[in-house]
Structure 1
Amino acid sequence: MASENSESVKTVSNKKHLYSAFLVGGISSVALQPLDLLKTRKQQQNNNGAGKFIFKLGAENYKIIDLWKGTLPSFLRTSIGSALYLTTLNKLRQTISTIENKQYNKSTTYNKSSNLPKISNWGNLISGSIARSAIGFLLMPLTVIKTRFESTIYNYKSLNEAVKDIYKENKINGFFKGFGSTILRDSPYAGIYLVNYEFCKNFLNKHTSVEQNNFLVNSSSAVIAACTSSAITAPFDTIRVRIQLQPNLNKNLFTTFVDIAKNEGFIKLFDGLTLRLMRKSLAAAIAWGVYEELIK
């Protein structure tokens, strides 16, 4: 059985991509917020925050619902981010597909489990990196607010309080603290993820009954791709968290990297990796598995 189809696959409107991505982003952010919160606390300065928090959940002042602290900024960031990212990514991939088709005199092809056009590895790498970098910059303020909400360093009661505190501390620049490490995490993550995701889909399409397992093929590919990309970019995530939580102590990417490696050990750069792998793999399975079904 062939593993790809020609241009008979229907065209999906940008609006459908936008709404579908917003939905899956929102669902995954709420469902997986506890893992994000624990990861942030594990990565923060003088950590053990995650371990202490889990230990204290049974205490009088801690409740299971506290694991969802920071859900609102997380929901806004992830739902809006997913909508903008996946819609932008689709447009970029369509453009690259058209360019590659003209260059090699061929027609657009698709995986049987997918309604997204197949493009070269370089095309996936470039489109993923560009889309993620652009959307990451636009959503940096929400990323900073989300990270602070999840930590034990700040005790914000509302988004308004967080915005005022960040602005008072570092003006507008405060909302973009950690942008360098965020881009060095997200840009290669997105590119590597797409390359691995498409590779896994191609492989699984050749070895499964796709008519019955579309969702399984796409979600399994998403999990594998997310784990690989998360492990490679983990150090930049730790550095990002440190800079966004204590910008006056952690001035920039390089000095924060040196400080962690020198004073805490290189392995500390991978703090929270297990939690990140769990969160990223589950989020990818939900987001890409459901998203690919919704846009059919």
Structure 2
Amino acid sequence: MSNSIASSSRGPTIPLPIPVIPPPNVPISKTNLKAQHHLASGALSGLCSAVCLQPLDLLKTRLQQRYEGTQRRRVGTVVREVVRDDGVTGLWRGTVPTLVRNVPGVALYFYMLSAIRGRLSITPYFQTTPLAITVLEGSTSSKTPVSSSSSLSSRTALVKLSNQGNLLAGAIARTSVGFILNPITILKARYESTQFHEYRSLWGAFRSLVQTEGIRGLFQGVTATAVRDAPYAGLSLTFYEKGKEVAGRMIKPEWGVPNAVLHSGSAAAAAVLATLATSPADCVKTRMQVNPTDHPTLRRAIIKLYQDRGIPGFFSGSSLRIFRKAASGAIAWTVYESILLFVRDQGL
């Protein structure tokens, strides 16, 4: 039977539209990216962000640790105290544990993220839904994602996923890496606080922590960290990918906007939104890691923080964390994606 409605004596044959099934969600072109590319670019991005932004981490920790009384401490006051006691270089106190954590941590995070997203991309539920393509006899519908997809593919080397896929991938990757590196995170927080000036080396800090608190002390605050990191990573990745997609469609090729601007702007905006949602968990996590005696459990830490500072205490240092996360995200994602795009385009 022909693809038409049989004509009656009163009218001509009317052709029916022929639906064309859109292609599966596969990359537009094969890439040559390997595990070492994700690890190397992630390590470099972690190095850059750690060195540049360590002072913000230190100030955030000092603002969040417990002080007697309820008087709010200001950033300027803390900066003057640090410079007075340790000089300008004191602002970089804790850089060594930060590097020990961030360089392999960011590398491992980006590698795990790429691996998880690659797995999820072959599952229909986590794929992006392409626009339906309808071909009419003698004409082609304008509803086709091909041109926009090819334009966006030149600006990123990452697999496209649905929002649910990005949420899941970010949460799993970040939580896993956070658990593995939690001992280094504790040493970093204590290095930055005012209560552990006896820490003179990373190995000495590690021995002191194990001797006084045992192996369990290495995972102090891991629950609060997971509560913070899982939603933060999932939301941040989702906002980042959506920001790239929206900005990529708005920016015309003839404008000549560099990829770095697209990546850094999208990453900074995503970090701000995700940070606002997870600041309370970050404050609780810092209390548990810096003052484990007074904050032995998650429930006790929440109660103690509320008793000390009230609701504002759950957002202590949030302005610094927002700025730090925005800058960190912009640096990390821009360096990471720039290297991957270079490797892909050069065929290295």
For the aligned pair, the TM-score class normalised by the smaller chain equals over 0.9
Q: Quote how far apart the aligned CAs of 1:259 are.
A: 1.8
Which letter maps to 2:80?
F
Secondary structure in structure 2 of the residue aligned to 1:248:
coil
Provide the rounded CA distance (Å) in 1 between the counterparts of 2:321 and 2:76: 15
1:222 is aligned, of 267, 291, 299, to 267
Tell me which amino acid in the other structure corresponds to 1:237.
D
**Is the contact between residue 42 and residue 51 of structure 1 (CA under 8 Å) also seen in structure 2?**
no
Equivalents in 2 of 1:63, 1:180: separation in Å?
35
Match of 1:67, as an amino acid? L
Say which structure is richer in helix: 1
Q: Partners of 2:30 and 2:268 in 1: how far apart?
A: 25
Tell me which of 228, 234, 239 is aligned to 1:196.
239
1:62 partnered with 2:86:
yes
Structure-1 separation of matches of 2:252 and 2:212: 56
Out of 75, 89, 93, the residue aligned to residue 99 of structure 2 is: 75
* 2:82 is the counterpart of 1:39: no
Per-residue CA shift, 1:264-294, capped at 9, x if unaligned?
1111100000110111000100000111010
Asked whether the 8 Å contact 1:41–1:50 carries over to 2, the reply is no
Letter in 1 for 2:246: F
Aligned residue number for residue 259 of structure 1: 304
Residue 51 of structure 1, CA deviation: 4.7
Gaps of 5+ in 1: none
Which structure has the greater CA radius of gyration? 2
- Check whether the contact 1:20–1:294 (CA below 8 A) recurs between aligned residues: yes
Task: Tell me, in whole angstroms, the C-alpha distance in 2 between the residues paired with 1:146 and 1:136.
Answer: 13
CA distance in 2, matches of 1:212, 1:272: 34
- TM-score w.r.t. the length of structure 2 is 0.79
1:9 touches 1:115 (CA, 8 Å); kept in 2? Answer: no
For 1:203 and 1:105, how far apart are their aligned partners in 2?
15
Q: Which moved more, 1:45-54 or 1:133-142?
A: 45-54
Q: Which moved more, 1:120-129 or 1:109-118?
A: 109-118
Q: Percent identity?
A: 35
1:291 corresponds in structure 2 to 336
Shift of 1:104: 8.7
Aligned partners of 1:30 and 1:71 also within 8 Å: yes
Rounded Cα–Cα distance in structure 1 between residues aligned with 2:319 and 2:127 = 43
Shift of 1:261: 1.7
Partner of 1:130: 172
Do structure 1's residue 205 and structure 2's residue 248 form an aligned pair?
A: yes
Distance 2:81 2:67 in 1: 17
2: CA distance, partners of 1:256 / 1:51: 27
Q: Give the match for residue 18 of structure 1.
A: 39
Q: Which amino acid aligns with 2:112?
A: T
Q: Offset at 1:116? A: 0.2
Taking the aligned partners of 2:219 and 2:208, their CA distance within structure 1 comes to 14
Could you report, residue by residue, the CA deviation over 1:187-230 in whole angstroms, capped at 9, with x for unpaired residues? 11000011111110111001113563211111100000001111
What is the aligned partner in structure 1 of residue 288 from structure 2? 243
Query: Partner of 2:119 in structure 1?
Result: 95
Task: Give the aligned CA root-mean-square deviation in angstroms.
Answer: 2.4
**Which residue, 2, 7, 29 being the options, matches 1:8?**
29
Counterparts of 1:105 and 1:257, CA distance in 2: 41
Q: How many residues align?
A: 292
- Partner residue, 1:53: 78
1:79 and 1:102 mapped to 2: Cα distance?
Answer: 30
The change in CA–CA distance for 1:79 and 1:279 in structure 2 (over 3 A counts) is: same
Q: State how far apart, in whole Å, the 1-side matches of 2:91 and 2:183 are.
A: 22
Aligned 8 A contact 1:127 1:191 in 2? yes
- Deviation per residue, 1:44-103 (Å, 9 max, x gap): 0117385543123553x4311100000000011111110000000001101111122898
Q: Deviations over 1:225-249 (max 9, x none)?
A: 0011111000111111100011111
Q: What are structure 2's unaligned runs of at least 5 residues?
A: 1-24, 131-144, 342-348
CA distance in 1, matches of 2:217, 2:75: 25
Of the candidates 65, 71, 86, which is equivalent to residue 110 of structure 2? 86
How far did residue 41 of structure 1 move? 0.3
**Paired AA for residue 187 in structure 2:** I
User: Using a 3 Å threshold, how does the CA distance of structure 1 residues 250 and 50 change in structure 2: closer, same or farther?
Assistant: farther
> What is the TM-score when the length of structure 1 is the normalising length?
0.92
**Residue from 255, 264, 275 that aligns with 2:320:** 275
Deviates more, 1:256-265 or 1:94-103: 94-103
Q: 1:146 aligns with which of 188, 191, 195?
A: 188
* Higher mean C-alpha deviation, range 275-284 or range 250-259: 250-259
Q: Is the 8 A contact 1:49 1:152 kept in 2?
A: no
Please state whether the residue corresponding to 1:250 is helix, strand or coil: coil
SS of 1:89's equivalent? helix
Native 8 Å contact 1:125 1:192 kept in 2: yes
